[in-house]
Amino acid sequence: MIPRYQLIAFRILFGGSLLMALLLVRGCVVTHQRLVAQRDLSPIPAPTDIPNETVSVALANDADGSITLDQEQMALPPSGPLRARALLEQTMAHYALPATLHPLPSGRAIANVYFVQLPLGNPAGTSTEKTTRSAEASHGQMAVIDLKGTFASSHPSGIEAEDLTLRSLIGTLHANFPEIDRVQFLVDGRSSETLAGHADLLHPYPALDTTREPLHTLGRVGRHE
């Protein structure tokens, strides 16, 4: 049989533990209420509205394999790679619409866009003749378009479909960024042989008016150098 004094001591300890637990819970509740009361409940200010402006968008047509330059109203960042990225994303968004003439899967297509100053320099082992020819042909900037891997992997495979997508991107850049002289494509930040099995992505393309002719007519910078 448990002695009476041990029962009393046990009850005192149990009661003390229960009281401490209640005080701890109460303290947590009070602290939470104070934090909520001190929190800034004012709404997050909306971003400053960017006015629409007229831009040129090179849109592809699968029916006749053409690129048409359309004028559209868009709200874009003021300048630089962010502007180019937003413009190219808006261009690719056309191809997810029901009435598009160049259907592509929906979702983000552009991971990032970078501008690189030209010329890029003279790699070791490059001949003087090649260096001179490259320097004469290089000026302005090169746009590096980093495509998302999910976009490339879901893009329809075929030379015409891939050609039109690249022409759409290059043509849109050329129409809105006259300082861009070349365009290089990456996929998920890395070099890729093709877009979806056909169109070459290893070599940069000249930034020209793609409404007039396909990419293989424009040629690739450095392919035969």
**Same-domain pairing of 34 and 86:** no
pLDDT digits (tens, 9 = 90+) for 156-192: 999 999 999 999 999 999 999 999 999 999 999 999 9
**Same-domain pairing of 14 and 84:** no
pLDDT for position 213:
72
Does residue 140 lie in a domain region?
A: yes
pLDDT digits (tens, 9 = 90+) for 67-111: 999 999 999 988 899 999 999 999 999 999 999 999 999 999 999
**Same-domain pairing of 212 and 143:** yes
CA distance 203 to 158: 19
Classify 189 in phi/psi space as left (phi over 0), alpha (psi -120 to 50) or beta.
left
Classify 219 in phi/psi space as left (phi over 0), alpha (psi -120 to 50) or beta.
left
pLDDT digits (tens, 9 = 90+) for 17-29: 766 766 666 766 6
Does residue 49 lie in a domain region?
A: no
Q: Tell me the C-alpha to C-alpha distance, in Å, between residue 82 and each of 9, 88, 90, 94.
A: 73, 10, 12, 19
**Same-domain pairing of 95 and 177:** yes
**Same-domain pairing of 25 and 114:** no
CA distance 39 to 136: 61
pLDDT at residue 123 greater than cutoff 90: no
Beta carbons within 10 angstroms of residue 99's beta carbon: 6
**Same-domain pairing of 105 and 196:** yes
Number of domains in the chain: 2
**Same-domain pairing of 29 and 95:** no
Strands (E), the chain: 53-61, 66-74, 110-117, 141-147, 180-187, 205-206
Does residue 68 lie in a domain region?
A: no
pLDDT for position 12:
78
Does residue 190 lie in a domain region?
A: yes
**Same-domain pairing of 96 and 11:** no
Does residue 12 lie in a domain region?
A: yes
CA distance 189 to 146: 6
CA distance 93 to 73: 14
% of the chain exceeding 90 in pLDDT: 58
**Same-domain pairing of 107 and 183:** yes
pLDDT for position 179:
93
**Same-domain pairing of 109 and 200:** yes
- This prediction has a pTM of 0.70
Structural domain of residue 12, as residue ranges? 1-41
pLDDT for position 17:
72
Does residue 28 lie in a domain region?
A: yes
**Same-domain pairing of 107 and 160:** yes
Average pLDDT, the chain: 81
Does residue 63 lie in a domain region?
A: no
pLDDT at residue 57 greater than cutoff 70: yes
Tell the residue number behind the tokens 């509205």, with chain if given: 49
pLDDT digits (tens, 9 = 90+) for 201-211: 999 999 999 99
**Same-domain pairing of 33 and 127:** no
pLDDT for position 141:
94
User: What is the DSSP pairing of strand 110-117 with strand 141-147?
Assistant: antiparallel
